[in-house]
């Protein structure tokens, strides 16, 4: 099995190094091959997603990705900015299904901003469509407003689009994920206002007939935002479009206290995937050796589970992470009084030792 390792920028190389150590400690015969991406790709080959990096990603069975981006590239034209690398990979590899689990480990209960009784034991999964919606819909642009009370003024416009097959493929992924959990699926839309959402909802209902064992419910996105902070444990699997999912998955992430704990997976229709922490390149702490590597290590566990068919090894990593937290080891982002503050390398080494 071939894993493409793309560390990227900022804390990316630091946290990916720890995840690679964990993978190597499993005793499996993976081939790990590394390539530059993001700002590192730009420095090495003049492009955030060099052809050779894209070719490696395409040839691999799975991709372990760190993070991209740095303020020093802010003045580059949009096409050369580091962030284009991740958008390019999602698009070229048709990674349309984004899995973002939000789990509150009991050892970190004090890290959430919500009351313990609201969040303790939280374990929900947000499935976000990643290839469509207003981020990619054409036409878009800036023009002179053709009509309305502001006719003649400069206006920006974007188009929200979803087709039935596009909604069907994410629906199947979400129903199958719900089948593996508590068989409850909430589809989030804004069908009281938007045509795309009405079509989304009708399609979800249609696909649900193939999954009679899953209980499908619907919620408007504004209510979903409220319920996520009021009663987050009332959800199990949530499926939604690209833009609503972008916002709700960040909101759900913060229920668990630190972005440094949250893995993610982006899958294509054959379950090939890109695995990365939910956070960015954290240039404010890069090079200091204090970044939390657990989100990346847990992303490697998701990779074993979803793309490489190694469920047992995935369980081993997740158990090792819980063990290290139970031992009281904490990077600064999750530190609280009475626990032991450690750096990136010590945290990674502790997970390897726990394995
Ligand atoms: P960020 O997630 O990099 O950082 C937000 C805050 O969380 C910072 O204070 C940072 O120090 C902290 N943080 C993040 N990860 C952490 C970890 N593992 N351990 C401890 N603390 C951690 O988001 P920000 O600051 O908005 O963006 C920084 C750069 O990252 C930008 O260039 C942005 O475009 C890029 N970015 C890249 C993503 C990707 O590669 N998929 C996703 C999000 C942002
Ligand atoms: Mg986001």
Burial of 223 per CB tally in 10 Å (0-12, 13-18, 19+) = exposed
Residue 60 belongs to domain spanning: 1-96+264-354
For the segment 183-215, what is each residue's pLDDT rounded down to a tens digit?
999 999 999 999 999 999 999 999 999 999 999
- Phi, psi (degrees; rounded to nearest 5) at 287: 80, -5
In angstroms, the CA 255 to CA 112 distance is 6
Domain boundary among 200, 221, 256: 256
d(CA 39, CA 83) in angstroms, rounded, equals 9
Average pLDDT, rounded, for the chain: 95
Cα–Cα distance for residue pair 82/5, rounded to 1 Å: 16
Q: Candidates 130, 253, 280: which one to mutate for ligand 1, based on the most atoms within 8 Å of Cβ?
A: 280
Which of 2, 58, 202, 222 is flagged as catalytic? Answer: 222
Q: How far is the CA of 213 from the centre of ligand 1 (A)?
A: 39
Considering every ligand atom shown, identify the ligand nearest to the alpha carbon of residue 291 and give its number. 1
Token pair for 275: 């695995």
Ligand 1 atom with minimal separation from the 15 CA: 18
Of 256, 279, 310, the residue at which a domain comes to its end is 256
Output the domain CATH number for residue 116.
Answer: 3.40.718.10
State what percent of residues in the chain have pLDDT above 90: 88
Q: Are residues 164 and 246 in the same domain?
A: yes
The pLDDT tens digits of the residues spanning 274-299 come to: 999 999 999 999 999 999 999 999 99
Quick: pLDDT tens for 16-57. Answer: 999 999 999 999 999 999 999 999 999 999 999 999 999 999
Q: Report the predicted TM-score, pTM, of the whole model to 2 decimal places.
A: 0.91
- What pLDDT is recorded for position 331? 96
Q: Which pLDDT score, from 0 to 100, does residue 258 have?
A: 81
**164-183 pLDDT, tens digit each:** 999 999 999 999 999 999 99
pLDDT of residue 42: 97
Has residue 107 been placed in a domain?
Answer: no
SS3 content of the chain, % helix, strand, coil (to 5): 45, 20, 35
Q: What confidence tens digit (pLDDT) does each residue in 208-234 have? A: 999 999 999 999 999 999 999 999 999
Distance separating alpha carbons of residues 203 and 166, to the nearest angstrom:
10
Indicate which atom in ligand 1 lies nearest the CA of residue 291. 19
pLDDT, mean of residues 308-330: 96
Which residues does a 6 A CB cutoff place in the pocket of ligand 1?
11, 15, 67-70, 83, 86, 259-260, 276, 279-285, 291-292, 295, 333
Residue 128 lies in a domain: yes
Catalytic one of 61, 158, 236, 246: 246
* 236-266 core/surface letters (b: 16 or more CB in 10 A; e: else): bbbbbbbbbbbebbebbbbbbbbbbbbbbbb
Under a CB-based contact definition with an 8 Å cutoff, are residues 167 and 202 in contact? no
Q: Tell the residue nearest (CA) to atom 26 of ligand 1.
A: 280
User: In this structure, are 180 and 245 located in the same domain?
Assistant: yes
Among 281, 333, 334, residue to substitute to test ligand 1 (most atoms within 8 Å of Cβ): 281
pLDDT of residue 336: 87
**Active-site residue 315, yes or no?**
no
Read off the tokens for 215.
Answer: 């209980």
pLDDT of residue 237: 98
């Amino acid at each position: 099995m071939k894993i493409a390792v793309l560390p990227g920028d900022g804390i990316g190389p630091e946290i990916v190094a720890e995840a690679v150590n964990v993978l190597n400690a499993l005793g499996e015969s993976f081939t790990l091959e590394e390539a530059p991406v993001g700002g590192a790709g730009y420095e090495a080959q003049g492009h955030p997603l060099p052809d050779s990096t894209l070719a490696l990603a395409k040839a691999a069975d799975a991709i372990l990705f760190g993070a991209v981006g740095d303020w020093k590239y802010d003045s580059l034209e949009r096409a050369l900015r580091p962030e284009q690398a991740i958008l390019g990979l999602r698009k070229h590899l048709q990674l349309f299904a984004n899995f973002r689990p939000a789990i509150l480990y009991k050892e970190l209960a004090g890290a959430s901003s919500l009351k313990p009784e609201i969040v303790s034991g939280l374990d929900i999964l947000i499935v976000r469509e990643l290839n469509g919606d207003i981020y990619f819909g054409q036409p878009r642009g800036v023009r002179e407003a053709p009509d309305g009370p502001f006719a003649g003024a400069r206006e920006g416009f974007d188009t929200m689009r979803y087709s039935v097959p596009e909604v069907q493929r994410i629906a199947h992924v979400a129903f199958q994920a719900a089948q593996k959990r508590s068989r409850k699926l909430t589809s989030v839309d804004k069908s009281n206002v938007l045509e795309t959402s009405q079509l989304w909802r009708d399609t979800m209902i249609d696909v649900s007939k193939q999954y009679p064992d899953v209980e499908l419910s619907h919620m408007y996105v504004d209510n979903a935002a409220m319920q996520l902070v009021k009663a987050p444990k009332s959800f199990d699997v949530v499926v939604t479009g690209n833009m609503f999912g972008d916002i709700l998955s960040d909101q759900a992430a913060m229920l668990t206290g630190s972005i440094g704990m949250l893995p993610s997976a982006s899958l294509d229709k054959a379950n090939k995937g890109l695995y990365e922490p939910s956070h960015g390149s954290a240039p404010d702490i890069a090079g200091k050796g204090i970044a939390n590597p657990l989100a990346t290590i847990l992303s490697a566990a998701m990779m074993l589970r979803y793309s490489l068919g190694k469920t047992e090894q995935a369980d081993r990593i997740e158990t090792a992470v819980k063990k290290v937290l139970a031992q009281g080891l904490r990077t600064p982002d999750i530190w609280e009084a009475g626990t032991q503050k450690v750096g990136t390398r010590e945290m990674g080494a502790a997970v390897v030792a726990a394995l």
